[in-house]
Amino acid sequence: MSSIEQTVTSRSASVFSLFSPTLLPATLMLGGGVVLYAVESYITATIAPSIVRDIGGLALFSWMTTLFVAAGVLGSITVATRPRGIGLRAVYVAAALIFGAGNLICSVAPAIEVVLAGRAVQGFGAGMLGALGYAFIRFVYPQPLWRKASTLYAAIWGVATVLGPTLGGLFSQGSSWREAFVVLVPLAGVMAISARWLLPLVEDGRAQQKTPILQIALLLATVLLMSVAGTTEHISSKIILLAISMASIVVMLSVERKSANRLLPQGAVMIGRPISRLYLIMFTLMMVLTSDIYIPYFLQTLHGVAPLVSGYLVALVALGWTLAAFLSASFSGKRASVAIIVGCILETAATASLILFLARDNPSGDPFLVGPAVLAMFLMGFGVGLGWAHLVTKVIGLVGNFEQDKASAAISTVQSLGGAFGSSLAGVIVNGAGLADPGGIPGSMSAATWLYGLMAMPGLVAVVMSSTLKPTSA
């Protein structure tokens, strides 16, 4: 046992232990990589309207997010499928440089097509950085701190939902959007240079195998189809695209089950295995959470809440995630398993309760309706944050060393898939329920009722799956 492990036990460990003099350099590097991925996801969403106003390309507007998400999934996969002999530290250097290059391309883009190319490059590097945060955990920290590191990353994603749009707002005037990309280039360069001294040299312990090209292609097709479905206005097209994407993921999982060249850890596609249920819980939690994208619209339309205020209110979802992550950071064993179950129940119940409090005609902004709706938003995020770090820790602890990179990369992939599928499905539900036709108050009430009723159902899957997990000592 190392000196760090002797002084850090499961009882004494806290999130602040990650910032001890010995661990601070690695924490800054790994946490910084997650920050770049998380914050950039929201910055560009804020400045995207400014980009098309300045250089045109409204018809390609949605592809700025679509390509970033798809490339991010490919980047996370690359961490696990990289050529043999390339260590994680070298991958980190490459990821930081690729991310910086993507930002540089976007900053000098004369046309929207160049911005899209930059977003793809940027997303690829960001996806690698996000997956590397999880992949490095077992090499940088003693086991009692694995859960704390996962807590930190979860908190970063929560904070990013507020910080990203805020920073984006500073660069949303005229051509100032270019500066939003430029400011991250030097930071990415510093991180690439510093990795050699601040991150450990990790031996590549993966088993020898060929790259699972077919599974990767099917997974990327799924992400792209779901992303496109989320942006098309025609409900029939949405349904067709979602159906094809679901068929694509089913084929991918079937190929994965039979193939000797696996993309995911062993047992990840067999529901009888704990690791499969862990990934399914992560997927459904993220899927349910994305129903919050319509909350600002319903607050403004049904409850007379000002646009700026509605934006800050929906940020309570992120605040709930962050606070719960820190609250449950010290849990272990049975308490951690209970936190996962309670978190799944809270998110599901809070989402369903929005039928009662958000799907109401309340033009005067009656606080007896708005107040409970705001609390429900907070509890949606709180439920996810309560168990997310423990889910990550269980995944890392379940697989052997030769499959750790696959398991870590799959966390980011499942998170992105859940978000992409959830947002696309939410679009199908609200449009089918009358958000645009008949529209107005009746359409919004109908859309909100169906949205939060149907989107709560995957949460029931998470509740059932979480109840089957056994406590671990990690």
Pick 416 or 302 by higher pLDDT.
302
Q: Are residues 222 and 331 in the same domain?
A: no
Q: Are residues 229 and 168 in the same domain?
A: no
Q: Are residues 179 and 239 in the same domain?
A: no
Domain count, the chain: 3
Q: Are residues 42 and 174 in the same domain?
A: yes
pTM of the full structure: 0.83
From 154, 180, 202, the end of a domain falls on: 202
From 243, 260, 277, the end of a domain falls on: 260
The pLDDT value given to residue 114:
96
Q: Are residues 251 and 294 in the same domain?
A: no
Residue 30's closest CA among 98, 79, 89? 89
Q: CA 350 → CA 187, 321, 344, distances in Å? A: 39, 13, 10
Which range among 31-35, 67-71, 258-262, 379-383 has the greatest average pLDDT? Answer: 379-383
16 occurs within a structural domain: no
8 occurs within a structural domain: no
From 241, 260, 279, the end of a domain falls on: 260
Residues 292 and 282: beta-carbon distance below 8 Å? no
Q: Are residues 317 and 424 in the same domain?
A: yes
Q: Which domain does 54 fall in, by range?
A: 22-202
pLDDT tens digits, residue range 99-149? 999 999 999 999 999 999 999 999 999 989 988 888 888 888 888 888 888
Q: Residue 405 and residue 136: Cα distance in Å, rounded?
A: 9
User: In the structure, what pLDDT confidence band is assigned to residue 69 with cuts at 50, 70 and 90?
Assistant: confident
Measured in residues, the chain has a length of: 474
User: In the structure, what pLDDT confidence band is assigned to residue 346 with cuts at 50, 70 and 90?
Assistant: very high
Strands (E), 337-418: none
pLDDT tens digits, residue range 172-182? 666 788 988 99
Q: How many CA atoms lie within 13 A of 89 on its CB side?
A: 14
Q: CA 268 → CA 44, 199, 278, 314, 387, distances in Å? A: 33, 29, 9, 33, 19
Residue 75's closest CA among 43, 108, 119? 119
Q: Are residues 229 and 327 in the same domain?
A: no
User: In the structure, what pLDDT confidence band is assigned to residue 384 with cuts at 50, 70 and 90?
Assistant: very high
Angle (CA) 202-194-180 rounded to 5° is 120
Residues 399 and 265: beta-carbon distance below 8 Å? yes
